[in-house]
Amino acid sequence: MKCFDHEKMGMYKAAIELIAPIAALTTLVALSPALADESPAARPGRPLKIVILAGQSNMQEPAKWHTLAGLADSEETKPLYDKLVDENGKVRIHNDVHMAKLDVNGPLPHGFGGRVLGRDKEGGNYGPELGFGVTLYETLQEPILIIKTAWGGKSLHTDFRPPIGKEWEPPEDHPDHPDNAPPPRPIPTRIELPADFQPPVLRGKNMQIMSGRSIGEVNGVYPIYIYSGYGQKAHFTSIPFQAGDLVLGLNGEGLGEEPVQQWRNTWFHTVREGDWMLKVTRWRDGTIETIDIDTAKLLEDGRAGIPAYLAAEEAKREKLLEEGGEYYGLMMQHIKDVLADPGKHHPAYAPEKGYEIAGFVWFQGYNDMINGGVYPNRQHPRGYEQYSWLLSHLIRNVRRELKLPELPFVIGVFGQGGKLEEPEPFREAMAAPAGYGEFKGTVAAVRTATFWDARIPEIQGKLDRVLQYTGDDPDHPYAKLQAEIRAYRDKMGDPDKLEGKARGKLERQIQAGILDIVRTPEETAYLQNNVSNQGYHYYGSPKFFVRAGAAFARTLCNMIEDR
């Protein structure tokens, strides 16, 4: 068996059904694959191939169907486009590759909510399964059932946690070990804000009784600027903070580089191991003072409710350790439900032939990466070793439950931001299990940063670069664009002289016009064809999701071949 590379693959044979056109590319001519003389579904003697895809939101369907057009704008990805869209701009249906998702069954591509790509105005969304299914079928040339379980905003530490029965214990030389905690930062006795200090403009972060955001280092600490208190909340009849206050320290320790996370850790963990009292050092109008906050006031029954709360939390913790996270259970239940009746999900299944689980693909990570409570030393090269430990247990548990001790397992390594000059701790922790001796040859990591579309943020950030240009060369391209922007603003008038909807409408018109000035028509078209989501969802980029899915498939089939 040869594991094909999409970018070099020739013609692809499959039984297909053609559906609604991609309007943006009706003029493009794509290669038209020949139909197979014999449907692989009819080939005798082979068990149905089953593959499992699991993870969080980026294993769901973050990309909108119209972005498939973006695959056609480069020589590297045009072959992929030709495999997914026919010469008339119609999305192909791959009848030998079926999906069994939580909400829908059907041939690839069935997108988010069960909508088939391109069938109606909503069109449906897609994720890595599109490139994955097509690539794996090209290699195997037999029916494939993809079981997909994915939920957004879920962590491996809690939600997908397998039933391990114990907590992670950091080694003695690990930065998370209590003996290696850095000395507390001293709280300054005075604060001098710069004369040109401006409050943070981004939205404040939730701090239980108020909202705030770091303002960076000042006098050796990282103060939190308070936007506002939340008013009366639970048993707090008044919040002892107001807009403009700065929080400098907690329980005698100055705030560090992640002050809001430090606040949350102290509120939810440190003080609850003691008397629930929090000492907050506050700066207000030049005066520094320390005040006491009874954090138990947030409980429904106040301090009287502490014993019941602690008992409930301990019961929750024990259940998590012994039974695993809720979404680990839901994932395994969905897999087992599908395996109990594969014929319900793929017409090629024959009970006398059975099925073969060919592999498992894991693509997750964001909610663990950002959790400074679970991973307090995130910038340290070893800061995410606990994730490696958890992921190793996930692999072992899935194999144990499916009774497949060497089930091939592909790890999709977090790739937001693209390739980096230096190793990034979370990415290295995700990839680490693939290098463990016990998993040799059966676990592999795919570095998805390779597929990050760097051109998207480059175009999106062009306006900022233009406005930030301060050179004195009037012939510099950015200086010329600045002059065009000023002239356009003068022409459109001042929106501040308007009120209500009229003001908002003019502001939007001006912003759109400025973007038209700064971006070339080709750049605007590129964004239209390649962007359908935010950066934390890889912009909903086809060049990311289709290519990453194809890489998962190639990696999996290489492991299958090696076995």
Span 59-108, pLDDT tens digits: 999 999 889 999 999 999 999 999 998 888 788 889 999 999 987 788 98
Tens-place pLDDT, residues 349-363: 999 999 999 999 999
- 386/246 Cα distance (integer angstroms): 33
Same domain, 368 and 427: yes
pLDDT at 6: 43
Same domain, 460 and 449: no
Reply yes or no on whether the pLDDT at 40 is more than 60.
no
Domain assignment present for 167: no
- 175/182 Cα distance (integer angstroms): 9
Tens-place pLDDT, residues 100-122: 998 778 898 865 544 555 554 55
Tens-place pLDDT, residues 494-543: 999 999 999 999 999 999 999 999 999 999 999 999 999 999 999 999 99
373 versus 90: the higher-pLDDT residue is 373
Report the chain's C-alpha Rg in angstroms: 27
Average pLDDT over residues 450-463: 97
Same domain, 426 and 555: yes
Average pLDDT over residues 234-262: 93
Cα separation values, 310 from 316, 317, 323, 505, 508, Å? 10, 10, 20, 53, 51
Q: Do residues 225 and 243 lie in contact, with contact meaning Cβ atoms separated by under 8 Å?
A: no
Domain assignment present for 376: yes
Same domain, 409 and 558: yes
Same domain, 447 and 461: no
Query: pLDDT band at residue 124, thresholds of 50, 70 and 90?
Result: confident
Query: pLDDT band at residue 33, thresholds of 50, 70 and 90?
Result: very low
Same domain, 214 and 304: yes
Determine the structural domain holding residue 501 and report its residue range. Answer: 456-536
Range from 118-132, 147-161, 191-205 that averages highest in pLDDT: 147-161
40 versus 3: the higher-pLDDT residue is 3
pLDDT at 118: 53
Residues 6+ apart with CB under 8 A from 505: none
Query: pLDDT band at residue 300, thresholds of 50, 70 and 90?
Result: very high
Q: Among 258, 290, 311, which residue terminates a domain?
A: 311
pLDDT at 385: 98
| DSSP class per residue in 344-366 | GT-TT--TTT-EEEEEEEEE--H
CB-side neighbour CA atoms (13 Å) of 350: 11
Cα separation values, 558 from 3, 135, 409, 547, 551, Å? 6, 12, 12, 16, 11
Reply yes or no on whether the pLDDT at 28 is more than 60.
no
| Domain CATH for 411 | 3.40.50.1110
Q: Among 254, 287, 311, which residue terminates a domain?
A: 311
Q: Do residues 176 and 386 lie in contact, with contact meaning Cβ atoms separated by under 8 Å?
A: yes
Domain assignment present for 330: yes
193-197, 309-313, 413-417: range with lowest mean pLDDT: 193-197
Average pLDDT over residues 234-251: 92
Same domain, 341 and 444: yes
Average pLDDT over residues 322-344: 97
Domain assignment present for 65: yes
Same domain, 399 and 503: no
Domain assignment present for 172: no
Split into its structural domains, the chain has a count of 3
Domain assignment present for 97: yes
Query: pLDDT band at residue 1, thresholds of 50, 70 and 90?
Result: low
Same domain, 464 and 445: no
Same domain, 134 and 24: yes
122-126, 217-221, 437-441, 490-494: range with lowest mean pLDDT: 122-126
Average pLDDT over residues 1-23: 40
Average pLDDT over residues 429-456: 97
Domain assignment present for 464: yes
pLDDT at 125: 87
pTM over 0.85: yes
Same domain, 427 and 558: yes
Query: pLDDT band at residue 203, thresholds of 50, 70 and 90?
Result: confident
Same domain, 183 and 278: yes
| Domain CATH for 282 | 2.30.42.10
